[in-house]
Amino acid sequence: MNKKLVTGAAMILWSTALFAQHRKIEFQSLTLAQACIKAAQENKLIFIDCYTSWCIPCKHMEANVFTVDSVADYFNSQFINLKMDMDKGEAVALGKKYQVGAYPSYLLVNKDSVLVSKFVGGMSAAEFISKTKAGTNPNNAVAVMNARYDAGERSSEFLRDYICQKIWLMEIAPAQKLNKDLMQQLSRADKAKPENWVLFGDNRYSLYLSDAGSENFNYLAEHWRDFSAIPRDTLNSKLSSIYRKIAGVFVAGRYNAKTNSEKYRPTDIPTYKKQIEGTELPDKKDLLLLMDISQAAVDKNTEKVTRLLAENVDTLSEKNKSIVFDYIAMCLSIPHYKYDGFGVIADRIVKTSTNPFLVNICKEYKQREIDLHAK
């Protein structure tokens, strides 16, 4: 008897779980102009889901968040809901108008098609509702910052915060323009203040503000002594990591990629060497060697790259030994390459590296060299 009761209860729970979430956000087939008319008639805001067919987080949100009853009930009662494929139709122009730079992006727009709020990314149902509700407040962070800028506010504190907000919203081009304006506005002494380190350091914003090839990074490299208020280890780590990254891109040959061609120019290698020579970085010698290896790589002098690594890889710091990964990528890009000389590099990595992944991959490619030469 008890067994039947337990089985029956389990079936009830299963059927309840199966059918509990049966509502979803109802997206309407309207143009934005039509949605604005309807929004005016119903006194509602317009919610726009900006997605693409290839965006994985977009698919997750559609399948797992838009179908939660609490989400569906809130959005269906409060908004005119639109869903736009940002690669098609009027959405392409709207993406430029509202500066949509990442997917999914979510927009709240009023009856006059003015942006009220915006947020980006995949998230839980609770966070999705919370962010949307916050956006309906006329004094939400996005609306307030935009209004302050439109009203002419240009204080350095405001611009710094506005740049960070733009990057959070993945409005990268506007953020970079604002950064350029701020850099021109700040004095040399002000740039080096701790509160402005966000424009130069390793953080959420560095990929867009202070990466290789950026004006901010070049400024830091040439004026690093000004930044005495920043811990030296932090400063050194930033500089070394970018030079290491630059060398890796050149050695692996990724500088020819469309997304890298402006940031990584082989003609800048002498400039990077000069910058490094002017530093007091603990791994200065390593980094100069990496630039020599980079030059050999862009010159397609594979023999020289191999020789420089074989002669010096055992003395490189552990972090700088990672250049071997990029060397392997270079070798893989050369048709029918037999990894000549790789065995010496591999042996020295095995003896000196504490990175088990690097050690194992070196063993693998040493064996590949042996096998290829045995044929």
| Domain final residue, candidates 120, 137, 154 | 137
Report if residue 169 sits inside a domain.
Answer: no
Q: Are the CB atoms for 215 and 183 separated by under 8 Å?
A: yes
Q: Are the CB atoms for 168 and 203 separated by under 8 Å?
A: no
Percent of the chain topping pLDDT 70: 94
Q: Does residue 366 sit in the same domain as residue 261?
A: yes
Q: Does residue 242 sit in the same domain as residue 367?
A: yes
User: What is the predicted pLDDT for the residue at 21?
Assistant: 60
Q: What is the largest CA-CA distance in the chain?
A: 85
Report if residue 165 sits inside a domain.
Answer: no
pLDDT band of 155, cuts 50, 70, 90: very high
Q: What is the domain range of residue 252?
A: 231-374
Cβ within 8 Å of residue 370, ≥6 positions away = 343
Beta strands in the chain (DSSP E): 45-51, 79-85, 105-109, 115-120
**Region 176-191 average pLDDT:** 97
User: What is the predicted pLDDT for the residue at 257?
Assistant: 74
User: What is the predicted pLDDT for the residue at 11?
Assistant: 46
Alpha carbons 201 and 170: distance in angstroms, whole number? 19
Using the predicted structure, report yes or no on whether residue 6 has a pLDDT greater than 70.
no
| Domain final residue, candidates 105, 137, 169 | 137
* Active-site choice (36, 55, 331, 362): 55
Ranking 15-19, 47-51, 183-187, 335-339 by mean pLDDT, the lowest is 15-19
Report if residue 128 sits inside a domain.
Answer: yes
* Main-chain dihedrals φ then ψ at residue 262, nearest 5 degrees: -85, -30
Q: Does residue 247 sit in the same domain as residue 349?
A: yes
Using the predicted structure, report yes or no on whether residue 40 has a pLDDT greater than 60.
yes
Report the candidate in 48, 125, 33 with the shortest Cα–Cα distance to residue 79: 48
Higher pLDDT, 375 or 370: 370
Q: Does residue 364 sit in the same domain as residue 235?
A: yes
Q: Which residues of 139-149 are buried (b: 16+ CB within 10 A; e: fewer)?
A: ebebbebbeeb
Report if residue 205 sits inside a domain.
Answer: no
Ranking 5-14, 95-104, 148-157, 201-210 by mean pLDDT, the lowest is 5-14
How high does pLDDT run on average in the chain? 92
* Active-site choice (58, 164, 331, 362): 58
Report if residue 220 sits inside a domain.
Answer: no
Using the predicted structure, report yes or no on whether residue 19 has a pLDDT greater than 70.
no
Report the candidate in 12, 79, 71, 7 with the shortest Cα–Cα distance to residue 43: 79
Report if residue 290 sits inside a domain.
Answer: yes
User: What is the predicted pLDDT for the residue at 375?
Assistant: 66
| Domain final residue, candidates 137, 160, 193 | 137
Q: Coil, helix or strand for 103?
A: coil
Catalytic-residue membership of 55 = yes
User: What is the predicted pLDDT for the residue at 354?
Assistant: 96
Q: Does residue 244 sit in the same domain as residue 357?
A: yes
Q: Which residues of 260-289 are buried (b: 16+ CB within 10 A; e: fewer)?
A: eeebbeeebbeebbebbeebebebbebbbb
pLDDT tens digits, 85-101: 999 999 999 999 999 99
Q: Does residue 124 sit in the same domain as residue 238?
A: no
Q: Does residue 243 sit in the same domain as residue 132?
A: no
Report if residue 188 sits inside a domain.
Answer: no
Q: Does residue 356 sit in the same domain as residue 242?
A: yes
Q: Does residue 366 sit in the same domain as residue 251?
A: yes
Specify the pTM: 0.84
Catalytic-residue membership of 164 = no
User: What is the predicted pLDDT for the residue at 194?
Assistant: 97
Report if residue 7 sits inside a domain.
Answer: no
The CATH number of residue 56's host domain is 3.40.30.10
Domain count, the chain: 2
Q: Which residue type does 326 have?
A: D
